[in-house]
Chain A
Amino acid sequence: MDENTNSPPDPTADVCLEFDRGTLLCRRWPRAVELAGLPGMRWDPRVQSFRAPGRFHGPIVSALTDQGVAVVDVVRDPLAPPGLVRLPELRSYQSAALDAWSLAGHRGVVALPTGSGKTLVGIAAIARQRCPTLCLVPTRILVEQWSDVIGGALGVEAGRFGDGVREVRPITVATYESAYRHMHQLGNRFDLLIVDEVHHFGRGERDESLEMCVAPARLGLTATPPAPDGTNRLEQLVGPVVYALPIEDLTGTFLAEFDLVELRLDLTAEERRVHDALRDCFTSAWRRFCALVPSPEWSDFMRWAARTAPGREAIRAWHRCRSLLSLTRAKSETIGALLGAHCDSRSLVFTSTAEAAHRVAVDHLVMPITASIKKAERDAMLAAFRGGEVRALVSARVLNEGYDVPDADVGIVVGGSHGVREHTQRVGRLLRPRPGKRALVYELVTRGTAETAQAERRRHGLGPGRTWVL
């Protein structure tokens, strides 16, 4: 029988809080208690009850307890604490980051450069708290990696949630996407929430996952904390930045020194002709749009352009132009030359698109690490790379963020589309320290194209004094 259930308020009852699909629901409460003033609490006329987002569980219970109100709290249904076999060893700055987080009341964001062991800080937080923990990571590849690291560092098997797998354990790793879809079931089962690459949150998209979770302890990890935007949304959801170290502070000690060489390349005559035609097609539409709109936005332009045939042609021209620049003949030849020159080193090649990565793979026989390659093969190839059997890997985005790449000395950035943050992440892939190591990052930039301005912005993002333009 389907029906809408609602129960009348019970004037004699204690305040009864339960978990209802990512929210806290109060069906019974004494008349004397003013629930509407509690943090996040609102009257829900649909079910004739009071309701609040899950993340307000702690503040609501505290507020009620402070008022001397008895609370029947059946919100949490936590999993058993993980039985940890061993604890991870931390470097000094990792311990300091963890202490700062503890002092901040187990809420906050730790910002450490790529390659400095952020994952280990998260895992140490689990070991310290010894409570059921949900780790959110951006991709399914990182779910696998976090699970492996948790198994190795703590000696427990982690549950996985994502890409069709739904396995809940005291320590569970989930993709953002599956957390978004399933937090209504998972939200009350964990006491610690760790959010890897936390800068993806706080802008509205997928924030519901963090809203629906009742875990009081929250740790955000990132290499690139977002600039404050006045809303403090991330601070509300996870906490403030409690510890931050820039690359410079670790370079030479915990991170390897590096040089960045920018190689300016030319298009062939044919490529130049095609490029200029595509660029002109696009810029004429863009200029028409700019004449119409005082402060032009890219998303508005795309909508405007999609309405007319010339506009659609301009969008296609823009895509084709990007595709052409992603791997020009000069870039391809230079990749070949650089891989040959650094034959004895371990190299990582970064492209702007998966298609370009696959073309590099076939043309230069470099193993691609893309989302299309399955975990077992990826792991085998990364192990081979670590052992020196495979000399180079090429990737568009998989290796950008979080993925624990074995030690590499040479990076070749063939193209990028995600600005300074992506570039910082990529350079960070090369900075795993080794005695005497000095990493070398080549950036291939095509003259007379949009790439020169993009490279300029990226260079500023990394800080001064490490770039040589050739």
Chain B
Amino acid sequence: MVSARAALGCCSVHGGAVVVRYLTRSDAPALRELIEECESLVGQPVRILAQRLEDKAAAGPSPSASRVATEVLRQVFGSEVRAAVSPVRARAVVFRLASCRQERSTVLERAGRQLGVSAAQVAAALLADLPQERRVVAPAAPVTPESIALRSNLGIQQALLQRSTRVAVSVEGSSRAIVRHAKLRGLICTVHRCADSDSMLLRLSGPLSLFRRTRLYGRATGELVPLLAWCRRFRLTADCVVHGRPANFVLSTGDPICPGNEPRRYDSRLEKRFAREFASAGPAWDVVREPEPVEADGTLIFPDFLLRHRDDPSRRWLLEIVGFWTADYLRKKLFRLRGARIANLILCVDATLRCSEDDLPEASRVVWFRKSIDPTHILRIVEPEAA
């Protein structure tokens, strides 16, 4: 994360659109200089590093970009306390002794005698644990201009999204990961299939966004940026407030994005195990994780798996795994699925995770399981002729 002040220094507004001055390959020489400056100051107080980086950034060819990079560098280069005696102990002794009518030097000498170190060491230890006085330490892995540029750009993008009041993403591939993240972070995500392409349009907002332009959800939307790197194509548009003016920020395929960890392929070990066991039990079937969403009742449903016959791709089954459930939940789900006219759907329901004592809704193709899903039960449904 970088401060909004530094990040917005790299942004300007033209014609209602945010123009971002990203850090690119052309910044590599300046970044290399900043990195070398940091390396030369290992062991020095953080305060000196901060001042030197600020001076260097101001004097460099692009102060705003360098200022973002200096913030990233200060996070990359850590710090530690170095003192001959614990600063907390030194303060406890010195500030108590200082209450007597004595000269500063006398107080420090007396404190030194008590603590078993010299007066100079006591003076040096007094504030040695404050963030600005801690000593710079080198990072474990080598630092490159490219990695600093990527992290700086991520910081700028996230700072902009933190100031956003409304976000929409049109995305091809990996939309499930984005929807999942949005929901986990308490966002409301409406999903629509774009008419003219294969992409999905996800609109992200929070419950309170209905009433006011709020930045409350900016942090959650900012966390989406690393996930976008795993999408085939995307275009994110955000209504932001930049330099006190409303402006539109666009982030799309090709912009420099710092990729996060690859989204988890499976949500649980149960899913992973099912995919593996079904693939070996039914070699005639492809197990497709994260199939295309299905429209149902004006919204989209993201099934867990698609089972597709290798020789006859028209034989398709959607498979859904239900963890915690209530009868009412299952009833609504089946109602919606029936409304969507999804015929070939198998619900696998965990028999041990029932959350209410209501009667179960009647439904065919519900497979009950305990601990793991038996692939032969599924095969019996998808291959009735074999059964």
Partner of A389, one of B96, B211, B216: B96
Please tell me if A367 contacts chain B, counting CB pairs below 8 Å.
yes
Q: Mark B129-167, 1 if CB is under 8 A from A, else 0.
A: 111100000000000000000000000000000000000
Please tell me if B303 contacts chain A, counting CB pairs below 8 Å.
yes
Please tell me if A6 contacts chain B, counting CB pairs below 8 Å.
yes
Given contacts A1-B320, A306-B9, contact A21 B183 (CB under 8 A): no
Partner of B216, one of A46, A180, A343: A180
Q: For residue B64, which residues in chain A have a CB less than 8 angstroms away from its CB?
A: 306
Interface centre among B58, B186, B210, B299 (most CB of A within 10 A): B210
Q: How far is the CA of A384 from the CA of B99 in the complex (A)?
A: 11
Please tell me if B341 contacts chain A, counting CB pairs below 8 Å.
no
Please tell me if B275 contacts chain A, counting CB pairs below 8 Å.
no
Q: For residue A309, which residues in chain B have a CB less than 8 angstroms away from its CB?
A: 63
Are B94 and A365 closer than 8 Å at their CB atoms?
A: yes
Q: How far is the CB of B13 from chain A (nearest CB, A)?
A: 10
Identity of the chain B residue whose Cβ is nearest the Cβ of A359 in the assembled complex? B127
Q: How far is the CB of A327 from chain B (nearest CB, A)?
A: 15
Partner of A377, one of B88, B244, B320: B88
Identity of the chain B residue whose Cβ is nearest the Cβ of A23 in the assembled complex? B207
Are A53 and B211 closer than 8 Å at their CB atoms?
A: yes
Identity of the chain B residue whose Cβ is nearest the Cβ of A313 in the assembled complex? B58
Are A3 and B99 closer than 8 Å at their CB atoms?
A: no
Please tell me if B38 contacts chain A, counting CB pairs below 8 Å.
no
Q: Mark A1-28, 1 if CB is under 8 A from B, else 0.
A: 1111111000000000000111101000
Q: For residue A441, which residues in chain B have a CB less than 8 angstroms away from its CB?
A: none
Identity of the chain A residue whose Cβ is nearest the Cβ of B103 in the assembled complex? A365
Q: For residue B98, which residues in chain A have a CB less than 8 angstroms away from its CB?
A: 365-366, 390-391
Are A22 and B208 closer than 8 Å at their CB atoms?
A: yes
Q: How far is the CB of A48 from chain B (nearest CB, A)?
A: 8
Q: How far is the CB of A449 from chain B (nearest CB, A)?
A: 23
Given contacts A2-B180, A21-B186, contact A312 B58 (CB under 8 A): yes
Q: How far is the CB of B120 from chain A (nearest CB, A)?
A: 12
Partner of A23, one of B96, B127, B129, B208: B208
Please tell me if B289 contacts chain A, counting CB pairs below 8 Å.
no
Please tell me if A355 contacts chain B, counting CB pairs below 8 Å.
yes
Partner of A365, one of B58, B107, B211, B297: B107
Identity of the chain B residue whose Cβ is nearest the Cβ of A319 in the assembled complex? B54
Given contacts A1-B301, A212-B208, A358-B130, contact A367 B95 (CB under 8 A): yes
Are A46 and B107 closer than 8 Å at their CB atoms?
A: no
Please tell me if A76 contacts chain B, counting CB pairs below 8 Å.
no
B-side interface residues, number (CB < 8 Å): 58
Please tell me if B126 contacts chain A, counting CB pairs below 8 Å.
yes
Please tell me if B352 contacts chain A, counting CB pairs below 8 Å.
no
Are B131 and A53 closer than 8 Å at their CB atoms?
A: no
Q: Mark A105-123, 1 if CB is under 8 A from B, else 0.
A: 0000000000000000000
Q: How far is the CA of A390 from the CA of B91 in the complex (A)?
A: 11
Are B210 and A389 closer than 8 Å at their CB atoms?
A: no
Identity of the chain A residue whose Cβ is nearest the Cβ of B126 in the assembled complex? A362
Q: For residue A343, which residues in chain B have a CB less than 8 angstroms away from its CB?
A: 101
Identity of the chain B residue whose Cβ is nearest the Cβ of A315 in the assembled complex? B58
Identity of the chain B residue whose Cβ is nearest the Cβ of A336 in the assembled complex? B104
Please tell me if A364 contacts chain B, counting CB pairs below 8 Å.
yes
Q: How far is the CB of A261 from chain B (nearest CB, A)?
A: 23
Are A2 and B126 closer than 8 Å at their CB atoms?
A: no
Q: How far is the CB of A276 from chain B (nearest CB, A)?
A: 21
Q: For residue B189, which residues in chain A have a CB less than 8 angstroms away from its CB?
A: 4
A to B CB contacts below 8 Å, 28 in the list: A1-B304, A6-B297, A6-B298, A6-B299, A21-B206, A21-B207, A21-B208, A22-B207, A44-B210, A47-B188, A53-B208, A53-B211, A208-B214, A300-B244, A306-B9, A343-B101, A358-B132, A361-B126, A362-B123, A365-B94, A365-B104, A365-B107, A366-B98, A370-B130, A377-B88, A381-B91, A384-B95, A390-B98
Other than the given A4-B191, A208-B216, 15 more pairs (CB < 8 A) read A1-B303, A1-B321, A3-B300, A4-B300, A21-B206, A44-B210, A46-B203, A53-B208, A184-B186, A208-B214, A299-B244, A363-B104, A365-B107, A381-B92, A391-B98
Residues of B that sit less than 8 Å from A by CB? 9, 58, 63-64, 88, 91-92, 94-96, 98-99, 101, 104, 107-108, 123, 126-127, 129-132, 176, 179-180, 183, 186, 188-191, 203, 205-208, 210-212, 214, 216, 219, 243-244, 296-304, 320-322, 332
